[in-house]
Structure 1
């Protein structure tokens, strides 16, 4: 018959290998109260978050980056060279990085005074007082303490206030020196808030934070339109930041473009100053010579020589001018990094040199732009520096070649002048002297007029320089905030209210090392679970005797004891009548089960005696309300009159008990003196069943001594109490066969905690029982349990 139980255990083990979704879900209902609790907490947290968090608005703007500059009409003819020099194509990617540079954003912060912020409390929410603050603080010096700690201003009226918790009242318009630094407090605008918080922020740190909230995109890769998006808690501030950023960007772009034109104008002005002085001196010489010599006209021959010499001198002067320009170019290239003025490149007629200078200027502008946004070790910046160095070397070589060519031309022209001068010797001395003076005057006049024309052209190009970007859409802010998203917050709160309990419950399951179901017992021990006993709810203030179940009751636990009584006939070969109940540790329900099992057997018309063999911590006498002055310990020491040791119980006439008696000093030695066998033999003649309530096997060896004289051992395992490690010990006992006919009783099962398939007969019933006391009004927990089918 015991094989039947083994087969049932094997079938139960095989069934347990299949995943039971229903049981998996039901186990969560033991902690059903966590779900409404955490759902409520998460919704409250979400509500408080929405109340505390300041809404963030998004502001958009777009600009067009012009790639080419075209000038039509008459101005186009005049400024063709200028547009080539001072304009040119732009890379959209470069402009994007320039707009997002730290320098531009720091300039925006300084222009808008954003390094000082003002906030006030409105309930749980913090309100930004940008351009609505009752006072305006102009910070001159801010200390490290001022950056770390906010300054609280309490407004007394529109022109008087107090700092922090101070009692002193100050008037606006004064300059203050305190722990926060040196600053001036000016009157602001009227507002409903009397208390506000002022925070000082480092410009570098604030610029970095603002750049993180600024995004620039190129919507269409084929276009040169840039879209700027800036997020801020204040709509007006976000618009002001974008407007000011675009203004600063335009000014910086114009400044870069006008740098070369400005340098060219300076060079021409310097040359004009020199030529003007020289021309004035020559004209005075002509006037003085005519007056002193009385010259009115010159001969035809001298006139011919004069014209030839003038033409030759004009060429020579042009050569000298070009040599001067080449020297200025050479000086600029050699001192490019020291801020030397840029030469008038358009005055050079050599296309190769003009091309090299144009390329050098463009590379230098690119280097300045990258230097604002990148580090000195950036590969792109190093590439540009390499190209600049190569271009500089090519320009110097080209200038030297041109200078050598100009030197040859100059020597040729000077030789021609020498021949013409020899011809002039035949001209009268007065005329020859006059021709020399007049020649100098003509040369200076031509050079003067040439420089005047170039100055006007350069000034016109400088004045007509415009930005290469155009505003398409002015900053427009969203009506509704983009952060926080209320729908996501509420959905996230609901999700958190569900997920957190799930994670917590799973964590409890992972950390729980106690027995949770019958399958764990059978898998770890290989022993048969002969019966399951449901959990009896403890009544506050009840005595130990109240744990005895009325066997006439139709309650679930009473029915389970009846089932356990029936299953006893299948133990071993069916003749097991001496039964020992033990467990791993105390508190697992041995005494409770032994008393109620004995009562159940007595109600089935069986003579039953319950022996209290726990000689260390007896509890039977308290539960059965009997005397413990005599008992098993007396018999063990030689008192053999059983009539004096056996006591009747008030539970049933056929239910007797022999308590443990006085506590001996040596329980193990007493149980091993050989008299236990005699006791059990005598009791078998009088009773149908002998139940022995023994000590926990996991704590003392007394149960091992008693096990030699019993027919079967009922090992008690308690739900959510017995450790899983103790099950391994039961398996070892079963395999070693130290305990005869070892079976397990599963006690304290909480069927209302998502266990099994219902709270009924044997743990698998369908409600075919009634409680002794029915509640008239069920609470919320009972209703939920009934709703999910576990109550």
Structure 2
């Protein structure tokens, strides 16, 4: 129970230590690759420099307009008169609606056509593209543009004041001629004098250009309590931006005036038609009066006749007014039924019902808004659909109101007709001639009053038509910024510097995230909690092209790797109680350097006057005999199956007289069973009497169980971890082996360390002491790159 608690406690300490954060280790990660930061900063600043050279500066131009409010700004009698006249046809404007109208595609396309912006001119000035708006040496008047012309710009080379060339053609053409080519049909004329003789002509579809320009146009209402709109347009050419804003406002004003004039014109047309009818009827009645007086010789009317006449006249006047109102209501009903199909709008001032007048005014306003939005928006626009819904509701209300009024007028008409019947009965007592004259005279008076009434309304409508003015007023003319708003040079430089720092920072982190192999000894110590018995540096390639890890090092040399093997030989005394003589070499996977380390450590021990035997117990994939270049016809597998004595199979290596080798021998079909048959411990016991050290090259522990079977009979185990090769996850297996005590005296050897990559930071043979030794194959003259790498390793 106590041992279990102890193991759990040690495991908790192990996991807790794994989670510790080391600031110095984290900083070393970036110091190790310090050279990436100046490289990326230089690249980013260079890219920023070329970006600023290539990018055209963008300027901002602003202007503001006032949308007039009919309820403000006018006072007194004159204001009332003007307000009354303008209210007949102007209607109330919503600032939000006008904002959307100004930003409509239709108005922008019209402005583009009037300014000829669908044809633009540019040229190159070094790396920068220069816009030649109104300064181009050539002017192209396009008649027909082909699809190819919209995709590719046309290049014109100015030869002299009268000649030019197209693209790469050698033939010279004269100005003011009509041309047909792949771009379309157009005329090229002479422009302004310019220092540039090569011009790129860009043809752009008006629709696409309008969309792009609308994206650069901003219309805002700075103050919600005012009716001022502020227009902002961004462009690389200051003059062009001012022209665009001016032309857009001109188009907007003309569109607004056109809507007003159309409404007034329809009203005048209706009055003129009515006047024509009344004029003809009045002329006929006057002729009847004149003819009757002449034929009948009537000069005066008796007092009684006069009284009847006055009563009947007054009653007939009312009856005629009712008939007129009924006629107007019928015209209103007809207009409402046929609205939008060319019907003439009725005159609302001839209707005295305030509800109907209000509904007609609202209907006319909605109709005008619908026509206005229909020109600038799509049929599925929610705003247009809302207006159509309001129009339908208003039309229904008007028709119901008209029907109610007509029923009331019909009752009034029947009453007046009954009164007329009674007056007519009284007139029967008047002589026939006088009664006939009164009837004719009555018709004359009625027609005359109606005629004068229509004349008055026509003059009022004409006056309102003549005084129609725009509902907006320019406050500030377009003003451009003195300095460009884009690109922001300071921000670009600052951003480039930040990118130069962030990119290598992310790159280094990504490199460490993707790189799952062992890079430093701290990783081994942190994960395995095992001691590192020694470090072996990376061997250079052999002259014959073979990898350096296949070499047998000359132990008499003063190379760094030879010194590291001497240090490893010295550190063997710290294994266990210092009496470990049978040592096994294993690893997680193949290729981590078990054979390389075991051969050279055995050679180093032999040079220290120790008798050493190296046994190849990798019975599945033996390579020991190939490295030592000895035969492998017989070996350890023969001993384990009882085919002869070990002395018959031990061979000298030729590296040193005290260094012998027992190769693996023929590959058996059952290596695991062979290692566990009980003959291996007997063999090792006999060999201990003859040799000071017995080194065993075993298979990788992470792949097969052979190493676990061999490990039961050895004094110590050296687990080989290779730099930039062993996966970090495999280190956890070493820690598990250590905690479970599967191997006696387990230690780690860090092989293939590349000190030139910034490893170490001053410990072991890869740090400050590295310069005390000379590689035999290394040049005495150090390159700049080598010096930088050593400087990094010392930083």
Report deviation, 1:23: 0.6
Q: Which moved further from structure 2: 184-193 or 51-60?
A: 184-193
Please state how far the C-alpha of 1:379 moved relative to its aligned partner.
Answer: 5.8
Task: Select between 298-307 and 103-112 the one with higher mean Cα deviation.
Answer: 298-307
Match of 2:582 in 1: 578
Q: How much does 1:8 deviate? A: 12
Moved more, 693-702 or 180-189: 693-702
Aligned match of 1:100: 103
CA–CA distance in structure 1, aligned partners of residues 168 and 457 of structure 2? 69
Q: 2:235 aligns with which of 209, 225, 232?
A: 232
Q: Deviations over 1:406-429 (max 9, x none)?
A: 344444545555555566666666
Deviation at 1:781, TM superposition (A): 7.0
Q: In the alignment, which residue of structure 2 is the partner of 1:33?
A: 35
Q: RCO higher in 1 or 2 (8 Å CA, sep ≥ 6)?
A: 1
Give the superposition deviation at 1:701. 8.6
Which residue is equivalent to 1:517?
A: 520
- The answer for the alignment partner of 2:358 in structure 1 is 355
Q: Secondary structure at the match of 2:726?
A: coil
Give the alignment's Cα RMSD to 1 decimal: 4.5
> Residue 780 and residue 325 in structure 1: after superposition, are their counterparts in 2 closer, same or farther (change >3 A)?
same
* Aligned partners of 1:367 and 1:384 also within 8 Å: yes
Decide which of 376, 384, 405 is 1:402's aligned counterpart. 405
- Alpha carbons of structure 1 residues 313 and 173: separation in structure 2 relative to 1, 3 Å: farther
What's 1:492 paired with?
495
Aligned in 2, Cα 1:538/1:39: closer, same or farther, shift over 3 Å?
Answer: farther
CA distance in 2, matches of 1:280, 1:497: 95
* TM superposition shift of 1:720: 0.9
Give distance in 1, aligned partners of 2:34 and 2:648.
Answer: 54
TM-score of the aligned structures, taking structure 1 as reference length: 0.82
The answer to whether the 8 A contact 1:610-1:693 is kept is no
Aligned to 1:744: 748
The Cα of 1:184 is off from its aligned counterpart by 4.4
SS in 1 for 2:284: helix
Comparing 390-399 with 221-230, greater Cα deviation is found at: 390-399
Counterpart contact for 1:26–1:755, Cα < 8 Å: no
- Equivalent residue runs for 1:575-654 within 5 Å: 575-584=579-588, 587-590=591-594, 592-594=596-598, 597-598=601-602, 601=605, 606-609=609-612, 611=614, 613=616, 616-618=622-624, 628=630, 645-646=651-652
Write the mapping of 1:48-127 to structure 2, written as runs, cut at 5 A: 48-69=50-71, 75-76=78-79, 78-79=81-82, 81-127=84-130
**Contact in 2 for aligned 1:79/1:457 (Cα 8 Å):** no
Task: Give the structure 2 partner of residue 189 of structure 1.
Answer: 192
Q: Distance in 1 between matches of 2:533 and 2:13?
A: 14
Of residues 461, 464, 467, the one that matches 1:464 is 467
Residues 631 and 645, structure 1, Cα contact 8 Å, conserved in 2: no
1:288-325 Cα distance to aligned partner (Å, 9 max, x none)? 55566666666666666555555444444433332322
Partners of 2:371 and 2:415 in 1: how far apart? 44
Cα separation, partners in 2 of 1:432 and 1:571, compared to 1, 3 Å: same
1:328-347 map, 5 Å: 328-347=331-350
Which deviates further from its counterpart, 367-376 or 356-365?
A: 367-376
How do 1:190-589 and structure 2 match up within 5 A?
A: 190-288=193-291, 309-369=312-372, 371=374, 376=379, 381-414=384-417, 417=420, 435-518=438-521, 520-521=523-524, 527-535=530-538, 548=553, 560-561=564-565, 563-584=567-588, 587-589=591-593
CA 1:643–1:163 in 2, change beyond 3 Å: closer, same or farther? closer
Per-residue CA distance 1:361-383 (angstroms, 9 max, x = gap): 33334444555566655665555
Structure 1 contact 56–234 (Cα < 8 Å) conserved: yes
Take 1:221 and 1:702, find their aligned partners in 2: how far apart are those partners? 85
Residues 138 and 184 in structure 1, CA contact (< 8 A), matched pair in contact too? yes
**Cα offsets for 1:28-64 (capped at 9, x unmatched):** 3333333333323322322232233322222111122
Matched residue SS, 2:133: coil
Q: Structure 2: which 5+ residue stretches go unaligned?
A: 1-8
Q: Distance in 2 between matches of 1:86 and 1:395?
A: 19
Counterpart for residue 764 of structure 2: 761
Local SS of the residue matching 1:658: strand
**Is 1:332–1:342's contact at 8 Å kept on the other side of the alignment?**
yes
User: Which position in structure 2 is the counterpart of 1:4?
Assistant: none
How far did 1:100 drift? 1.9
CA distance in 1 between counterparts of 2:554 and 2:63 reads: 82
Does the 8 A contact of 1:752 with 1:790 survive in 2? Answer: no
Aligned residues of 2:632 and 2:666 also touching (Cα < 8 A): no
* C-alpha distance in structure 2 between counterparts of 1:541 and 1:175, whole Å: 76
Distance 1:784 1:310, change over 3 A: farther
Say whether the 8 Å CA contact 1:30–1:752 is kept in structure 2. Answer: no
**Bigger mean CA deviation after superposition, 96-105 or 290-299:** 290-299
- Deviation per residue, 1:464-507 (Å, 9 max, x gap): 22222221122212222222222222222222222222222222
Contact 2:271/2:454 (CA < 8 Å) preserved in 1? yes
Tell me the CA shift for residue 328 of structure 1.
1.5
Per the normalisation by structure 2, the TM-score is 0.82
CA distance 1:312–1:727, shift in 2 (3 Å):
closer
Q: Which residue of 1 aligns with 2:692?
A: 688
Q: CA deviation at 1:457?
A: 0.9
Q: By how many angstroms is 1:217 displaced?
A: 1.7
Partner of 1:771: 772
- Evaluate the alpha carbon distance shift between residue 11 and residue 755 of structure 1 in structure 2; reply closer, same or farther with a 3 A threshold: farther
CA shift digits 1:664-717 (9 cap, x unpaired): 654899998999889866765565334455676668898778767653332221
1:647 Cα deviation after fit: 6.3
**Equivalents in 1 of 2:363, 2:523: separation in Å?**
84
- In 1, Cα distance between the equivalents of 2:521 and 2:382? 70
Q: Which is further off, 690-699 or 537-546?
A: 537-546
1:150-165 mapped onto 2 (5 Å cutoff): 150-165=153-168
Question: How many residue pairs are counted as aligned between the two chains?
Answer: 770
Secondary structure at the residue paired with 2:479? strand
